[in-house]
Amino acid sequence: MSHLAPYEARTVLTLPAVQRDGWHLKRYAILADGRELSDAVTDAATAEAFRRLPPPGSFEDGTGNHGVGFQIIHFAETAVVSPVFYWHWGSVLAHIHQMRASWDTPTAFGDGRAEIVGCVWEMNIVIHETQAWTDTVLSDGGTPAERLARYMDSHA
C-alpha cells in the first residue's frame, strides 16, 4: 500500500460495550482490506486496555476522569493497533499510550509510537464520539445517568 494511496472507507463494526473495574468502554473494530474480525484479538486488546487505563473516576465528578471512554481495534495492513480514549473534566478527551500488536503475535500488545493519536480511519470514530459526547452528556437533556445511557447507545 502506498502511503499516498487514495482514501477508501474501511468497514467499521460496533462491538459490545464493556463495563469493568468501574469503566464504561465503548468499542469499535476497523477492518482493512483482507483483514477479518477476531474475537481472540479483540478480547486481548480490551484486556490490555483495562490494564493500562488509570483508576476510573466518577461520572458525576468534574475533577478527574469520568470512567467513560472508547476503544478502537484497528485490524490494519501492517499490525493491529488500538487507540483508547477517555473523558476527563467534562469536556477533555484523554488517551492512553497507543497499543500495537504485530500480525506474528496479534494478541500480544506492546506500545506503539507515543506521538501517534490515530490514523484517518480512527479519527472518523473520534469525530463521532466527540459529537456524541457533546450532544448527549454535555446537554441539558435529563439526569446524568440518562445522558450517560444515551452516549453509550450512540455509535459511529
Here the CATH number for the domain that contains residue 109 is 3.30.160
- Look up the pTM and report it: 0.95
Whether the CB-CB separation of 57 and 65 falls below 8 Å is answered with: yes
142 within domain boundaries: no
**DSSP state at residue 78:** S
Per the structure, the complete domain to which residue 27 belongs is given by: 11-117
- Residue 75 belongs to some domain of the structure: yes
Q: How far apart are CA 12 and CA 73, in angstroms?
A: 10
Taking the C-alpha atoms of residue 69 and residue 77, their distance in angstroms, rounded to an integer, is 25
For residue 72 the three cell numbers come to: 478502537
Q: Is residue 122 part of a domain?
A: no
Per-residue pLDDT of the chain (156 residues; tens, 9 = 90+): 678 889 999 999 999 999 999 999 999 999 999 999 999 999 999 999 999 999 999 998 989 999 999 999 999 999 999 999 999 999 999 999 999 999 999 999 999 888 888 999 999 999 999 999 999 999 988 999 999 999 999 998
Residue 84 in domain = yes
Indicate whether 6 belongs to any domain.
no
| Total of domains in the chain | 1
